Amino acid sequence: MTLRASLSRWWRRFFPEKSLGQRGEEAAARFLRRRRYRILARADQSGPGELDLVALDRKTIVFVEVKTRQSQDAGHPAEAVDAEKQRRLTRAAVSFLKRHRLLEYPARFDVVAITWPAGKRRPLIEHVKDAFEAVGDWHC
């Protein structure tokens, strides 16, 4: 094995390539920070489901679902946030608010839809503010 191949294997072992979803979440966080959002949590799995990003937009807590696709051949990425996904996100968000004693603050759900074609350095990012209302059977 050559030195180059050995170093390459070592590099991939300690710095594995990020998945499309991970790259999308990082791009979404950068996008929101540039718009003066403060990122409070990333990939929060401590409740009944995962919250991609939790951010603060002035005094509003924003639960951000990030959907990343290589193309829109199967539809717009935001279309993947269907009614069932909205119910799961609502449960996770209420759990987050209760856990952190933030129930008195206004909250909303946003979707960041990312289209990132293979081989492109920069994705197309679309931010859908107030994408849906809290849904499902939940109690504060």
- Stronger pLDDT, 48 or 29, i.e. the higher one: 29
pLDDT tens per residue across span 80-119: 899 999 999 999 999 999 999 999 999 999 999 999 888 8
pLDDT tens per residue across span 41-88: 999 987 788 999 999 999 999 999 999 998 888 888 898 899 999 999
Rounding to the nearest 10 degrees, give the CA dihedral for residues 16, 22, 24, 29: -110
Report DSSP state, residue 119: T
**Is residue 74 assigned to a domain?**
yes
Task: Domain count for the chain, please give it.
Answer: 1
**Amino acid identity, position 83:** A
The CATH number covering residue 110 comes to 3.40.1350.10
**Is residue 110 assigned to a domain?**
yes
**Is residue 108 assigned to a domain?**
yes
Domain containing 44 equals 18-132
Q: Which two tokens stand for residue 55?
A: 């951010």
Beta-strand ranges (E) seen in the chain are: 38-44, 51-57, 60-69, 107-115, 124-132
Distances (CA, A) of 36 to 1, 125, 126: 49, 16, 16
